[in-house]
Amino acid sequence: MLAFLNGQFLPEEQARVSVLDRGFLYGDGVFETIRVANANPFQWPEHFERLERGAARLRIKLPCSNEELGQAALHLIAENGVTEAALRIALSRGPGPRGYSIKGADHPTLAMTLHAAPKLDPDHPRLWNVVTTAVRLPPKDPLSEIKSGNKLPHILARAEAESRGADEGLLLNGAGDPIETSSANLFWLERDTVCTPGVESGILPGITRAWVLDWCRQARVEVREKTVRSSQLSRADGIFATNSILGIVEIQQLDETRAARAALSGRLQRAWLGALNA
Amino acid sequence: MLAFLNGQFLPEEQARVSVLDRGFLYGDGVFETIRVANANPFQWPEHFERLERGAARLRIKLPCSNEELGQAALHLIAENGVTEAALRIALSRGPGPRGYSIKGADHPTLAMTLHAAPKLDPDHPRLWNVVTTAVRLPPKDPLSEIKSGNKLPHILARAEAESRGADEGLLLNGAGDPIETSSANLFWLERDTVCTPGVESGILPGITRAWVLDWCRQARVEVREKTVRSSQLSRADGIFATNSILGIVEIQQLDETRAARAALSGRLQRAWLGALNA
């Protein structure tokens, strides 16, 4: 596999960064994960916009424009001869002097790699078993709104879920309310209303979350951003999760409770796959 | 400069890790920063113990024993011909498949590098100007007790402090109480009692913090772990901070308030420098 690193295309095993890179030391960076379909990165503008916003929040100067990075992504996809994949962009502040000060760290590292993406078949949709984890995210955390390189809470939630035999772990915020899973945004149904926690709850506002909210508005399905208690969630009229690689995934089991079937989830996934493959 | 990477000693510019390393992508690791004096890493056992505890918490298998890593550190110091330095150990989970799951990421990365350490002169002690930052750390966060590679809150606090002309930034916890600065633990004096926030407040329990508490107990200086409000802190009978590279640093200014002189801080720094150079 070829990788992209700081303007160069080179074999993945040669794509290496300094041990002084602040990404490696402190998670001092942002990243994006994008589904590639028909050799095309789906929703590229939305992902690039979030990358740009995260970099600005961390005061990391993006070393290239939307057009330049987009061209490099297409070149990477073509050179590797893949059509279906997951594309990861990682931007770090690069190497710098010892310590937390960002002074003197002016050469960001930008890497893109391609990975296998799970096949998605609308006739055989995934169903997740989710458990509530011990991980708490701080509310009103300015970092939660960007896809930062500080992902230990999500890693620990995922590890806890897997060790308990589940697919994904549910994370709560400081108020004890469920807000997202380790790799996906959370939705639930109250009768025909599609509900999801608002940005102020501490979630990472996902690209697929926004796509679902848009779809609902266009389809005149009522949507509400609101908080939910754990006990309300397990009694909801269906639960599902969204991310950029898998689309919309129904949650069939939450802790000890069998969730109600969420028929809308299958309809959403078909629509999302339609857009992905358009 | 020579660096140590996964058992090898090599020129620092050749010490490189994969762009798939989870340290680089997610800050998925722990680190230590140790003062080297007279070619000896000060308080090595304490630092190694914290590294080991952090690795266990993140389920990263330490690829070497205390003795092996200690020998490698001494070798690195000797080969570089330095006697006074800052030694940084970085341990990450290493490369792995895409995504947060820790499955399949079984080859940790262990790097050690040496850096210039600021000179410390007890006759001309540093004095810090500290400002309260907008950064909030979650209370009772299990990650705060380990020196994890997720340091964006501390980086943002430091950047905010520097942009406001200060040396260091004060971080508050979710309850709004000051708990630490971006790179140091916080102490204050109430008459002759030495006070510092307890571990449950959300601090990283520092090695030098523990050294100060020990020293106080031996010198029969009363110590108390307690919470403090911002308004109480600026009215304290002296404020100081501690870290492993600088020892004990008096805080002379907190936001708009000139702090009371903390004579004990100079006495502690002399004692710490004595232990460092013993």
Closest to B104 in 3D by CA, of B183, B196, B22: B22
- What are the pLDDT digits (tens) for A79-121? 999 999 999 999 999 999 999 999 999 999 999 999 999 999 9
User: CA distances (Å), B2 to each of B12, B31, B118, in order?
Assistant: 5, 19, 20
pLDDT bracket for residue A218 (50, 70, 90): very high
- What are the pLDDT digits (tens) for A157-173? 999 999 999 999 999 99
Q: What is the mean pLDDT of residues A68-87?
A: 98
* pLDDT for position B142: 79
Q: Chain A contacts of B111, Cβ < 8 Å?
A: 19
Percent of chain B with pLDDT over 70: 100
Is residue B143 classed as helix, strand or coil in its secondary structure?
helix
Summary mean pLDDT of chain B? 96
User: Is residue B202 within 8 Å of B225, Cβ to Cβ?
Assistant: no
- What are the pLDDT digits (tens) for B89-132? 999 999 999 999 999 999 999 999 999 999 999 999 999 999 99
pLDDT at B158 over 80: yes
- What are the pLDDT digits (tens) for B245-271? 999 999 999 999 999 999 999 999 999
B152 vs A134, A138, A143: nearest CB? A143
User: Is residue A210 within 8 Å of A261, Cβ to Cβ?
Assistant: no
B19, A155: Cβ pair inside 8 Å? Answer: no
Q: Chain B contacts of A1, Cβ < 8 Å?
A: none
pLDDT bracket for residue A139 (50, 70, 90): low
B24 vs A23, A141, A182: nearest CB? A23
* pLDDT for position A237: 97
* pLDDT for position B138: 75
Find which of B25, B32, B243 to mutate to test the A interface (most A CBs within 10 Å of its CB).
B25
A138, B143: Cβ pair inside 8 Å? Answer: no
Cβ-Cβ contacts under 8 Å between A and B: the total is 181
pLDDT at B139 over 70: no
pLDDT at A220 over 90: yes
pLDDT at A46 over 70: yes
Q: What is the mean pLDDT of residues B11-23?
A: 98
Q: What is the DSSP letter of A142?
A: G
Q: What is the mean pLDDT of residues A175-204?
A: 96
A26, B155: Cβ pair inside 8 Å? Answer: yes
* pLDDT for position A223: 98
B25, A138: Cβ pair inside 8 Å? Answer: no
Instruction: Spell out the alpha helix ranges (H) of chain A.
Output: 22-26, 44-57, 66-80, 152-163, 207-218, 230-234, 263-276
Kindly report the nearest CA distance between residue A76 and chain B, in angstroms: 15
pLDDT at B141 over 90: no
B27 vs A27, A156, A162: nearest CB? A27
* pLDDT for position A141: 80
Q: What is the DSSP letter of B238?
A: -
A12, B23: Cβ pair inside 8 Å? Answer: no
pTM of the model: 0.96
Summary mean pLDDT of chain A? 96
Closest to B92 in 3D by CA, of B149, B162, B174: B149
Q: What is the mean pLDDT of residues A239-264?
A: 97
Kindly report the nearest CA distance between residue A192 and chain B, in angstroms: 33
Q: Which residue of B has its CA nearest to A175?
A: B174
* pLDDT for position A142: 79
Is the complex ipTM higher than 0.90?
A: yes
A162 vs B21, B101, B183: nearest CB? B101
B3 contacts: CB under 8 Å, gap ≥ 6: A19, B9, B10, B11, B12, B15, B76, B111, B112, B113, B114
pLDDT at A51 over 80: yes
Q: Chain A contacts of B30, Cβ < 8 Å?
A: none
Amino acid sitting at position A215: W
B158 vs A16, A17, A100: nearest CB? A100
